[in-house]
Copies of this chain bind each other. A is one copy, B any other.
Amino acid sequence: VRIDVYFTPGELAASELSSRIAVVIDVLRATSTIVEALANGARAIYPTQTADDAVQLAQVLGREDVLLCGERRGLKIPGFDLGNSPLEFTADRVAGKVLVMATTNGTPALSTCAGAKQVVIASLCNLDAVVAELAGAGEDVAVVCAGRERRFALEDALCAGMLARRLRERLQRAPRTNDAAAVAMTLARRASRRLEGWLQRSAAGRQLREIGLGDDVTYCATVDRHAVVPRLRERQITL
């Protein structure tokens, strides 16, 4: 089994994923929010590349139970029902609903991974559930960090490293890893005990604090809050 990590979606082509399980990570905040929404009873989430795509898709779906969700520069898109803060996606708001979601970094990463054998959504909030699933599957894994505006993001690399370390512990044989996986695991070894501090100091964490969303960082830094494994299949994410 191989565990490869990619710090930005730009480092791989969709065609390179056809024989692997892709694990998409956007800790601050898209995949944390997706996990939260589905754990709280949302029926399905449609990720879109842009806000316009989200509006159009919501019109096509046309149902009363559709919620428009998404952020630009961290804040809710005007006219949308919800932003991208996991704290907004409570059971009373999302249970039974279909969500259409546009986010800056998370949804582009998901579309890069659409050609993978399977696509799994991971965050710190559902780490162990994803690791258990991957350990059971016994397939090669590509961990794809959403990053931040096509650049390296600390929090995604840290989550990828924690995932790789935990998965390695559960496998019978030592997996082969790429350079990025080795470095992510080194980072995770050093940082996983003071996880929230590292997330607060990351560029995304600092930006969220500046716009008054520091609580989101704390929330997204909580490990194993939910035992769910969201999957992307035919454009929708479900459990």
Binding site for B on A (CB under 8 A): 6-8, 10-12, 148, 150-154, 157, 178-180, 182-183, 186-187, 190-191, 201-203
A180 touches B201 (CB 8 A): no
Interchain CB contact (< 8 A) of A10 among B150, B157, B179, B182? B150
User: Is there contact, CB below 8 Å, between A6 and B151?
Assistant: yes
Bound form: Cα–Cα A132–B10 in Å: 34
Q: Do residues A179 and B153 form an inter-chain contact, with CB atoms below 8 A?
A: yes
Nearest residue in B to A156 (C-beta to C-beta)? B179
Report the minimum CB–CB distance from A210 to chain B (whole Å): 15
The complex is assembled from copies of this chain, and their number is 2
- Take A150-B10, A150-B11 as given contacts and tell me if A183 and B157 are in contact as well, using a CB distance cutoff of 8 Å: yes
A153 vs B182: C-alpha distance in the bound complex, in angstroms? 10
Establish whether residues A11 and B191, one from each chain, have CB atoms under 8 Å apart when the complex forms: no
- A205, closest chain B residue (CB): B179
- Contact A203–B179 (Cβ < 8 Å): yes
Please name all residues of chain B whose beta carbon is closer than 8 Å to the beta carbon of A153 when the two chains form the complex.
179
- Which residue of the partner chain, among B150, B183, B187, B202, contacts A152 with CB atoms under 8 Å? B183
Residues of B within 8 Å of A186, CB to CB, are 186-187, 190-191
Cβ–Cβ < 8 Å partners of A183 in chain B: 152, 154, 157, 183, 187
